[in-house]
Structure 1
């Protein structure tokens, strides 16, 4: 029984040492402004949509370097990113309305 406990303890310590680099450091950088994070996310979605439009145009013009698969995957990525952005916006608006309706 004691051997199993020590083996289990050593296994847990090994797991802990593996997870140590994944744990956040105590010296965390200052948090970004919410507006900066939101702006960065919107710009990322906009970049995905622009690259999709570019690929789509190149494919329609007959560029042999662009395949239909690339265009469809890029289109799905930008569509998914846009849908996620809309959902986040809806949640933020809902939270704002909830806060504004709270009695003071």
Structure 2
């Protein structure tokens, strides 16, 4: 359970886009796959947040221990923080591209 404390997306292969480019995938196909990758990542973060809320509710009625609820809450917090940092980096990269003079 502690191994899952890092941001993870189940069923997503990070090198999938590179493999498709090597296999002759068009840029639009790669973009669609990247979009589905982002969608799955956001769904994973949402699921972790919902799990943290569920564990908190279970803690209130005495079904789980405090440590289980805290681990779940920290996993959700780390996922949200990572998602926020990735979003910030993407926005910074976009702004840098827009400032580039041709």
- TM-score tier after normalising by the smaller chain length: 0.5 to 0.7
TM score, norm. by length of structure 2: 0.67
CA apart distance, 1:29 = 4.6
Pick 1 or 2: higher relative contact order, CA cutoff 8 A, min separation 6. Answer: 2
RMSD value, Cα: 1.6
- Residues 57-96 of structure 1 aligned to structure 2 (within 5 Å): 57-63=57-63, 66-96=64-94
TM score, norm. by length of structure 1: 0.66
CA apart distance, 1:30 = 2.4
Alignment gaps of 5+ in structure 2: 1-17, 22-29
Alignment gaps of 5+ in structure 1: 1-27
- Higher gyration radius (CA): 1
Query: Which residue number corresponds to residue 20 of structure 2?
Result: 30
- Residues 3-14 of structure 1 aligned to structure 2 (within 5 Å): none
Q: How far, CA to CA, are the matches of 1:59 and 1:73 in structure 2?
A: 12
